[in-house]
Structure 1
Amino acid sequence: MTAMERLRFGVDLVTFSHPAFWGVADNDAIVALAHSDLRAFWDRLLDSAQHSGVTGVELTFSPFNWQEATKAYGSVEAFAGELRKRGLTLASGFFAELEAAGDFTEASAQAAIIGKAEKYAEFLTACGSDIMVIGAPLRHTPGEWPARFFDFEQARKIADFLNRLGAILYKKGVRLALHTEAHSIFAASRDVDLLMLLTDPAYVHMCPDTAHIIVAGSDPLDVVERHHERVIIAHWKDALGAMPADTPIDKHIHDRHRPYFCDFGLGRVDWPGWIRLLRDRGYEGWAILELDAAPDPVGDIANGLTLVRQALLPIYR
């Protein structure tokens, strides 16, 4: 088996969420464009992923989510056929409901999340995927009052729900992978260690995002070295450095992240060290290349794959 077969490269569809790529003014206009002709929108999206050189895609938020994909082609089976026609595989699906759920320790909120996750899992398995990448709840801005702590007791409650959700997904043939989203409760080194300690490795796995870990002020190699056995998929992305500790954490936090992300090889990720770590720990599986909202996503992902083939895969071999 070749290195490219052991490491399969995909793209998260968030990469295609820049208004300039669609020739519109802003994110609202992207949504409007998609809804004006979903089939044409998704045809361009999948064609672009194919032309970038990847073999897999990860679905994300609307209009790049599984519901819109199903509407675009009329059925889950038809969407899966469109992927196959282009030589693509559904690598995974991103599930953002925890971040939007508020206090999901409430029983009613948990029931709603489980219901949505079960439907998503059925879609994923119908398309041949077995990984659901889940974003963790956001932290609160330091200095907010009353202060809210992500301490052992709060982490235990969240871990209990993640364990149960992971077990429910497991029964449906899907594995839960927590994503290291900067400014969430699962990105900085201490927070990752805490939730990995409290969750059951049979049911809760990990999707490290190299850039988000750096933006959170930690080292992705250090974090993954300690938890490599939990990694079932990884987001490969570069970042310029850590964000200020007092960064406001609100509905604009994802927009604030974007200036800290950069093209592959131009940031702080130690890519040779990263690929050696994956090689030495025997990692095989999806490597999801990602750029948050790239104006030229096809060219940028293609350039990232060139870096991978020329500089990194020889090390991995």
Structure 2
Amino acid sequence: MTPPAPRFATDVITFYHPDFWGLDSAEALRDWAHDHPGAFWERVMDTLTEAGVTGLELTFAPGDIDSALRAFGGAASFRHELAARGLSVVSAFVAGSDAPGWRQDGNLPAIVADAERRAAFLAEVGAELLVASLPMRATFGTRPPFFVDAAYMTRMADIAHVVGEAVSRHGVQLAFHTESHSTLWYERDIDLFMALTDPRYVWLCPDSCHIALGGGDPVAVARRHSQRIALAHWKDAVKPIDVHLTIDETVFARQQPYMTELGTGIVDWRAWADAMSFTPGAGTVLIELDEAADPVAALRAGRAVVEEARAWPAVGDRAAAHIERRGRA
């Protein structure tokens, strides 16, 4: 029995390189896309079709939920435009300056309301996954120090349970992304958070690059938590981040030199593909490429790496045997 081919997806960030739009800066792209949301989404959808990628993860502006609503007037219309091209929304990432912070006391009602708004959109657009991340760490050496300890993680788990239950009423799952320099970055962070949360309401979205940047083993993480992985971000890393970066609004840009295209870094793609084949999210491969100047070429190259990794006999044989066993159960 051959394991079914996955659908390929990508994050809208793939399309954020200003060169792709003939613009000279990220700020110029944000401004233009804000003023022309329809034109922005038309080109994104046409490029996805050209690249042979059918799934999309929404994220921060300009490729966010509000942008899609401005462009198409509603989730149903957006879904119709995507479906006309054979495309669909896979997930949406809780991102943007309007997202209420999890570290502030008294924010729970706003956090839940924000998540429910996003979940309602996802349900109407035909998606089932809301991806979130835990708050960022503080820069090492900050005084007073901020510790990611059991008490902190218990508070995060309590919030995650409330949010996970709220979005589940919309038929949406809540999964947590392993963001670099966040409080869900190191292997230990992930293990602790997973141990403290209910698997019925809280899922995992591991990012192979970010886990590797924290000095972790993404394959080991995927294998330990395989039954809770609703989606994964397939992304490569040059090497672990071996310095203490200042954690502020510029940290994401300073992480970029440590990231690279699939197949050119340190992630073991055969082992990762093998681990992914045993997860609930095995049906989707989300290739994450930050700001590709040529999205079609980058997505095709990434897809080729994934297909080669999945074609490795050990991956296909083990996945097929797993599917057959589940079919007999």
* Shared fold, TM over 0.5: yes
TM-score, L = length of structure 2: 0.91
Code of the aligned partner of 2:226: H
SS of residue matched to 1:233: coil
Q: Could you tell me which residue of structure 2 aligns to residue 183 of structure 1?
A: 181
CA distance in 2, matches of 1:70, 1:308: 32
Map of 1:220 onto structure 2: 218
1:130-279 correspondence runs (5 A): 130-279=128-277
Whole-Å separation in 2 of the counterparts to 1:165 and 1:282: 21
Structure 2 residue 75 is matched with structure 1 residue 68: no
CA shift for structure 1 position 20: 1.2
Alpha-carbon offset, residue 3 of structure 1:
4.0
C-alpha offsets along residues 210-239 of structure 1, whole Å, 9 cap, x if unaligned?
001111111101111111111010100001
2:306 to 302, 305, 308: 308
Once residues 202 and 282 of structure 1 are traced to their aligned partners in structure 2, the CA distance between those partners, rounded to angstroms, is 13
Could you tell me how far apart the structure 2 residues matched to 1:283 and 1:148 are? Answer: 34
The 2-side partners of 1:285 and 1:221 are apart by 18
The answer (yes or no) to whether the contact 2:102–2:156 under 8 Å persists in 1 is no
2:285 — aligned with what?
287
| Structure 2 CA distance for aligned equivalents of residues 159 and 237 of structure 1 | 26
Q: Aligned partners of 1:54 and 1:4: how far apart in 2?
A: 16
Q: Which amino acid aligns with 2:268?
A: D
Other-structure match for 2:78: 79
**Structure 1 residue 281: Cα displacement:** 5.7
- CA distance change for structure 1 residues 230 and 40 in 2, over 3 Å: closer, same or farther? same
Task: State the distance in 2 between where 1:99 and 1:219 align.
Answer: 33
C-alpha deviation, 1:98, in angstroms: 9.6
**Matched AA of 2:270:** P
Distance 1:132 1:2, change over 3 A: farther
Question: Cα 1:184–1:99, aligned 2, differ >3 Å: closer, same or farther?
Answer: farther
Count matched residues. Answer: 315
- Secondary structure of 2:175's aligned partner: strand
Q: 2 CA distance for matches of 1:305 and 1:79?
A: 25
CA contact (8 A) 1:10 1:288 kept: yes
What do you get for the CA RMSD once the two structures are aligned? Answer: 1.8
Query: Following the alignment from structure 1 to structure 2, what is the Cα–Cα distance between the partners of residues 99 and 72?
Result: 19
Q: Distance in 1 between matches of 2:169 and 2:247?
A: 35
Contact 2:130 2:174 in 1 (8 A): yes
Aligned pairs for 1:81-160 within 5 A: 81-96=80-95, 101-102=100-101, 104-107=103-106, 109-160=107-158
Provide structure 1 residue ranges, at least 5 long, that are not aligned to the other structure. Answer: none
Deviation at 1:31, TM superposition (A): 1.1
Checking the alignment, whether the CA contact within 8 Å between 1:133 and 1:179 is kept in structure 2 is yes
Cα–Cα, structure 1 residues 55 and 2, in superposed 2: closer, same or farther, change >3 Å?
farther
Instruction: Check whether the contact 2:229–2:279 (CA below 8 A) recurs between aligned residues.
Output: no
Distance 1:46 1:195, change over 3 A: same
| CA distance in 1 between partners of 2:279 and 2:130 (Å) | 22
Is 2:174–2:202's contact at 8 Å kept on the other side of the alignment? yes
Cα shift at 1:284: 2.3
Partner of 2:323: none
Structure 2 stretches lacking a partner, 5+ long = 317-329
